[in-house]
Structure 1
Amino acid sequence: MRTAAGVWRWRRNPLRRATDLIEAWLALVAAVLLVTAAPAVGWLGGSLTDDSLRQSVRIQRQQRHPVTATVLRPAEEPRPAAYDPEGAAAREKRRPVVAKWTAVDGSRHTGTVSTVLRTARAGDTFTIWTGRTGRIVGRPMDAATARVHAVLAGIAAAVSAGGLVECARRLVMWRLVRRRHARLDRAWAAAGPDWGRTGAGS
């Protein structure tokens, strides 16, 4: 409202300069774009990301399968090259074991995998995710995580659109101010030599 009032104030003001009116209209257009275009871009970006992630979730659920692995024996934990608090915390939560499992296609496999079992003993079972041929893969993305990522993508798109509008407004304003200063410098250079002279109209 304040921006619109500024445009109306400059319409018939005798002190109005051309750059003043352009500045007021520029602020109004930028405000309208920030209120309408930025949310629209955010909604569109979030919707496209959501569709893409939903398709990825469907594909992952088709290609990744939960199978039961049986612990054969604990595996030796690799020694870290340097102390890493985050790595140490992660190692405390997951333990490497040698296990066997049967893939969806019926093939049998044996290998070292990580498990969240606190005490991994021979014969204990746990769930792992594999491809159709038995290769270990990550857990497929769930719908809730995909939705969160889509929302974050939409927010990022809206913020980026708003930032682009503001950057464009500031760039045009910078050029207007430079033009205004250049006109003032020319006017001052033309009137400056006559300041204080008798009969010069000063």
Structure 2
Amino acid sequence: MTGTVRLWRWRRNPLRRRTDVAEAWLSLAAGLVLVAGAPAAGVGTALAVGDALLAGQGAAQPQRAEVIGRAAVPVVAGAAGRAHAEVRWTGRDGVVRVAHARVDAGAEPGSRVTVWTDDRGRLTGAPATRSEAWLGAGLAGAGVAACVGVAAVGARNAARGRLDARRAAAWERAWAEAAPRWGRRVP
């Protein structure tokens, strides 16, 4: 019986309205997006982000640098013993560069550290490991899938609200047309 009730909008019926058919199609489209579109968008995003993060592994190059300023004590409790200090290194092009980089907290001037640079010699973060890249890709994919699902349900609910408003307006018009035939109105 419930299958018949759920599919009543698809059957020929003299009481079926255009808005009922439109709502049925909207529900079907939203269901397809939830079942197929959201997972496909999530997997596609995860693969693209994972490939991009793994490709970035070769872009960052390690450089040996010398700490030239005392490393500050980290202010953030969860900084895992890291702080910013001024460092100097010679790039692959032979140019000596100076910048602030994250080093071990309390690193003394003159100590050697490893910094990561891009192809132009600018400081960049350490490349993601393979597991970090795929974890980030999985989180990005899950986020996109959730957003697509929320958007599909939200669009369906917004459209259903408009259809409900149209049905209510039609109902009011029908009552306004039928009420005078029944006699006096009661205030």
TM-score in terms of structure 2 length: 0.70
**2:71–2:104 contact (8 Å) kept in structure 1:** no
Paired residue for 1:141, among 119, 128, 131? 128
- Report the structure number with the largest CA radius of gyration: 1
More helix by share: 1
- Unaligned 5+ segments in structure 2 are none
| Corresponding position of 2:53 | 53
| Alignment match of 1:87 (pick from 75, 81, 94) | 75
Amino acid of the residue matched to residue 7 of structure 1? L
Distance 2:110 2:50 in 1: 41
Which among 48, 61, 65 is matched to residue 62 of structure 2? 65
Can you give the 5+ residue segments of structure 1 that lack an aligned partner in the other structure? 79-85, 198-202
Provide the rounded CA distance (Å) in 1 between the counterparts of 2:100 and 2:148. 47
2:70 maps to: 75
Residues 114 and 51 of structure 1: is their aligned pair in 2 closer, same or farther, counting only changes over 3 Å? closer
Alignment of 1:37-52 (within 5 A): 37-52=37-52
Distance 1:7 1:26, change over 3 A: farther
Map 1:1-202 → 2, pairs under 5 A: 6-8=6-8, 11-12=11-12, 15-60=15-60, 64-67=61-64, 69=65, 75=70, 77=72, 87-89=75-77, 93-94=81-82, 114-116=102-104, 118=106, 120=107, 124-130=111-117, 136-196=123-183
TM-score (norm 1): 0.66
* Number of residue-to-residue matches in the alignment: 183
Q: 1:56 to 1:186 in 2, by over 3 A?
A: same
% identical aligned pairs: 36
